[in-house]
Structure 1
Amino acid sequence: MRIGEVAKTVGMTPKTLRFYEEQGLLPPAPRGTNGYRHYDADSLDRLDFIVRGRAAGLSVNQIRSILAVREPGSAPCAHVRDILAGQLAELDSRIAELTALRAGVAASYQVVAAGDPAACDQSRICSYL
């Protein structure tokens, strides 16, 4: 399959596919005499894994590390578990930060919504912030 066909099959653009190839996530595809890249079923499987990894929030580096464990034939399950545990911890931390931020914004909104613009301190840019 050529690059456009493969990209469409896995749901990405040819530019993204070339990026993954440049990043070493996908081995360089052999080229025909016309210079076009030709991808095989193994490339499709690898790209499907990359798409699923990205959908799970994994970075290019994390995906690269999983592929590096898999290349010599080792199962990357423990490595993936560790990566996902780190992802969960980061997400929990970000959710806590966003929850606290939302509470602060909601409190500020309630004050400003109940306020009287005529009572604003003219010496300040905004009395509510």
Structure 2
Amino acid sequence: MNIGEASKTSKVSAKMIRYYEQIGLIPAAQRTTSGYRAYNRIDVHRLHFIRRARNLGFSVAETKDLLGLWHDQSRQSADVKRVAQEHLAELDRRIESMRQMAETLKTLIRCCAGDERSNCPILHTLEQPDDREPEPAARSGAVQRRFRSGRPEKPASTC
């Protein structure tokens, strides 16, 4: 089958098939006498495997490792499990990082007045150097309340 048919069957774009071939994730396709790539069912099965691995977020390098394990009849399932566990741990780290980003954005959005004034804690935070945790700027126009002692009251939020 040609690259278009292999693409349709495997649900991997022709561009990605060429890329996977270029980086050695799949072997170079056989060529017809006219120079077109020709694929068989084994090639399509391999592309399907790659698509599923990539859809689960495995990197190209991890996918290459999994392909090697898939074709190694002397493999141990513990090796496959280790690759999957390492990937899951990385996904968990990324999810936690994204959760923290979302919480920071929620706080910044809550702190931003969203009115005609130019002071914006979102922009103020983005301009902070990367070497320290940015602190949201105080909202403009806010008046700090005072205790009876005359000391300023600490704000209820981080705004």
How does the TM-score come out when normalised to structure 1?
A: 0.79
Structure 1 residues 70 and 114: CA distance shift in structure 2, 3 A: closer
Moved over 6 A (4+): none
User: Is 1:106 equivalent to 2:106 in the alignment?
Assistant: yes
Partner of 1:90: 90
How far 1:75 sits from its partner (Å)? 4.0
Q: 1:112 to 1:48 in 2, by over 3 A?
A: same
Q: Please identify the structure whose Cα radius of gyration is greater.
A: 2
Gaps of at least 5 residues in structure 1 are: none
Residues 42-121 of structure 1: pairs in structure 2 closer than 5 A: 42-75=42-75, 77-113=77-113, 117=117
The CA distance in 2 between the partners of 1:10 and 1:89, in whole Å, is 28
TM-score (norm 2): 0.66
Do the aligned partners of residues 127 and 84 (structure 1) sit closer, same or farther apart at CA in structure 2, a change above 3 Å counting?
A: same
The alpha-carbon deviation at position 83 of structure 1 amounts to 1.7
Q: Whole-Å Cα distance in 2 between the matches of residues 35 and 114 of structure 1?
A: 60
Matches of 2:46 and 2:23, distance apart in 1: 13
Task: Give the superposition deviation at 1:45.
Answer: 0.8
**Paired residue for 2:14?**
14
- C-alpha change, 1:112 and 1:7, in structure 2 (3 Å) is same
Residue 3 of structure 1 contacts residue 38 of structure 1 at CA under 8 Å; is this kept in 2? yes
Q: 1-side partners of 2:81 and 2:89: how far apart?
A: 12
Question: How far does the alpha carbon of each residue in 1:58-78 deviate from its partner, in whole angstroms, 9 at most, with x for none?
Answer: 111111112223334234632
Instruction: Give the corresponding residue for 1:3.
Output: 3
Structure 2 residues not aligned, in runs of 5+: 125-136, 140-158
State the aligned residue count: 124
In the superposition, relative to structure 1, how do residues 108 and 75 fare at CA in structure 2: closer, same or farther (>3 Å)?
Answer: same
| Equivalent AA in structure 2 for residue 87 of structure 1 | H
CA RMSD of aligned residues (A): 2.7
Bigger relative contact order, structure 1 or 2 (CA pairs below 8 A, ≥6 apart): 1
Q: Contact 2:11/2:48 (CA < 8 Å) preserved in 1?
A: no
